[in-house]
Chains A and B, each alone.
Chain A
């Protein structure tokens, strides 16, 4: 079975990557061969097999509802490209 064509520019848009036409072509071919490889899995008969939610056979990992100290405010904002009034400043958000 041939690998499905993928719309590289669409995938790039979803990942907020800007690709040159050359890159789009190069990555497109690479992704296609990755998908082709994965499609081998399609050949496996999975009838009657429950989908696995996780590779580890662990369930119900929880923590008690207890408050623990947060980061120091200055520390939390240390990596912010810009800050003002205690907020992370970002380019103007337009909806």
Chain B
């Protein structure tokens, strides 16, 4: 029997704010333990949380970027549980009235466009970080109270690879929107995975297995590959799966069941009495709508459509936003945007890395790149010479036309001069010349190379080829 996987993801993302969600402590990674803490985020008695307006804005912005409905009324609730990383013994989150609802993410997957629906994106607080030692554990509360957004997907994902691509595009969108830095190394994105399998075509869902606390996308992919295989094996052997929570062991590359607590979680949610509900006003929403940016996929498609770029080039400009912006500033007026893209991607980017420089430090004006592309296209200089011209442009900042003129680099298309070079090459290399006459076509390239050398690279290669052939066939 054939089986299919049904996967839903809960993705937690730390928001890019200066301060924490309920207090003014810095939202900063890597500070010495328990230095960004105060009575509010330590959960001391008698304190009152006050919502960070930027955290609310970023949540709404995320809703807009993910095509969600923005709730006209949202509130916060207490989720009650005991764990040392949560000093209040409850986490403030949004339970039944989240800030945003019912959206979707479109992304490219196996050569087509896929859509995963978003159930909700809500706002909550992050918890402290535990460190485990031989005989006891330690808690650092610097992370407690960092604004955290939970993005819940519908179970629309059908494979490990699709989950991976969904997460990558979600991350790209959030980084594009300035919602989060999404630095995986710093734990800014974490993921809980829900996965079940069922015989293909069956409506009813299989038992849901949750894999908790994944902190890398490749980990999610590997855990899912393993877990789907495991579940299918159990079911096809006639076994039964029960709803449970598992943990991914990244070293052993297996999932293992977590010790199930004798009683199911009972979080006893109730409205947070210390925080007032939130009802976004028209003007507040308008202000946030202005922060909506073009999404990565839309940008890629536009670059391919407007500038006739291949997918790989467009993708490069999606990943490197400033480079894409720079390209666009030139490409709008360029005769040959594809050639401009080649210069920007293959040459400029390499030079910038080599010189450890950035775009604003460029000495030449942006239009120089399209001018250079035009010089090559019109046959004024060869593409090899153009490399030298680009090097000079980068070093001294002169316009390419000026460099070509000053250094006398213009391509020689003057037939008389070229004929002379060709004669010289044939006389000096009788071997290859007779090889060509005997039918060895490749020998022509050698002679062509000699002519280029004699002309110091300035000969028009197409013309040289024609002249040599004519002379040798004569």
The answer to whether A87 touches B25 (Cβ under 8 A) is no
A88 partner, pick from B34, B35, B36, beta carbons under 8 A:
B34
Within the complex, the shortest CB–CB distance from B201 to chain A, in Å, comes to 38
**B407 on the interface (CB 8 Å rule)?**
no
The answer to whether A70 touches B53 (Cβ under 8 A) is no
The answer to whether B263 touches A65 (Cβ under 8 A) is no
| Known contacts A16-B82, A66-B24; A87 and B271 CB within 8 A of each other | no
| Known contacts A76-B42, A88-B138, A90-B138; A65 and B55 CB within 8 A of each other | yes
The answer to whether A56 touches B276 (Cβ under 8 A) is yes
| Known contacts A70-B26, A73-B34, A93-B84; A65 and B52 CB within 8 A of each other | yes
Interface size on B, residues (CB 8 A): 55
The answer to whether B37 touches A70 (Cβ under 8 A) is yes
In the complex, per-residue mask of B256-270: 1 if CB is within 8 Å of any chain A CB, else 0: 001100010010100
Interface segment, B128-136, B334-342, B375-383, B419-427?
A: B128-136
The answer to whether A67 touches B18 (Cβ under 8 A) is yes
Docked Cα-Cα span, A64 to B54, in Å, equals 7
Residues in A whose Cβ lies below 8 Å from that of B258: 95
Docked Cα-Cα span, A65 to B17, in Å, equals 7
Interface centre among A14, A65, A94 (most CB of B within 10 A): A65
| Known contacts A88-B138, A93-B84; A54 and B37 CB within 8 A of each other | no
Within the complex, the shortest CB–CB distance from B92 to chain A, in Å, comes to 14
Docked Cα-Cα span, A16 to B261, in Å, equals 14
A73 partner, pick from B32, B50, B56, B273, beta carbons under 8 A:
B32
The answer to whether A65 touches B53 (Cβ under 8 A) is yes
Residues in A whose Cβ lies below 8 Å from that of B263: 10, 13
The answer to whether A66 touches B33 (Cβ under 8 A) is no
**A1 on the interface (CB 8 Å rule)?**
no
**A40 on the interface (CB 8 Å rule)?**
no
**A47 on the interface (CB 8 Å rule)?**
no
The answer to whether A71 touches B17 (Cβ under 8 A) is no
Within the complex, the shortest CB–CB distance from B71 to chain A, in Å, comes to 12
Number of A-B contacts (CB under 8 A): 129
**A49 on the interface (CB 8 Å rule)?**
no
Docked Cα-Cα span, A53 to B36, in Å, equals 31
**B279 on the interface (CB 8 Å rule)?**
yes
B136 partner, pick from A70, A77, A89, beta carbons under 8 A:
A89
The answer to whether A88 touches B139 (Cβ under 8 A) is yes
A62 partner, pick from B50, B82, B136, beta carbons under 8 A:
B50
The answer to whether A70 touches B33 (Cβ under 8 A) is no
In the complex, per-residue mask of A18-50: 1 if CB is within 8 Å of any chain B CB, else 0: 000000000000000000000000000000000
B138 partner, pick from A56, A67, A71, A85, beta carbons under 8 A:
A85
Residues in B whose Cβ lies below 8 Å from that of A58: 276
Residue ID in chain A nearest B74 by CB atoms: A53
**B277 on the interface (CB 8 Å rule)?**
yes
A63 partner, pick from B42, B52, B138, B268, beta carbons under 8 A:
B52
Residue ID in chain A nearest B27 by CB atoms: A67
Docked Cα-Cα span, A16 to B139, in Å, equals 20
The answer to whether B273 touches A54 (Cβ under 8 A) is yes
The answer to whether B19 touches A68 (Cβ under 8 A) is yes
**A2 on the interface (CB 8 Å rule)?**
no
The answer to whether A95 touches B131 (Cβ under 8 A) is no
The answer to whether B136 touches A60 (Cβ under 8 A) is no
Residue ID in chain A nearest B50 by CB atoms: A63
9 cross-chain CB contacts under 8 A = A14-B266, A60-B278, A65-B55, A70-B37, A85-B33, A87-B138, A89-B138, A91-B137, A92-B133
Besides the known contacts A61-B50, A65-B17, A88-B138, 7 further A-B residue pairs in the complex with CB atoms under 8 A apart = A14-B80, A14-B266, A85-B138, A88-B139, A89-B136, A92-B132, A95-B259
B interface, CB within 8 angstroms of A: 17-19, 23-26, 32-39, 42, 50-56, 73, 75, 80, 82-84, 97, 130-133, 135-141, 247, 258-259, 263, 266, 268, 271, 273, 275-279, 281
A interface, CB within 8 angstroms of B: 10, 13-14, 16, 53-56, 58-71, 73, 76-77, 82, 84-95
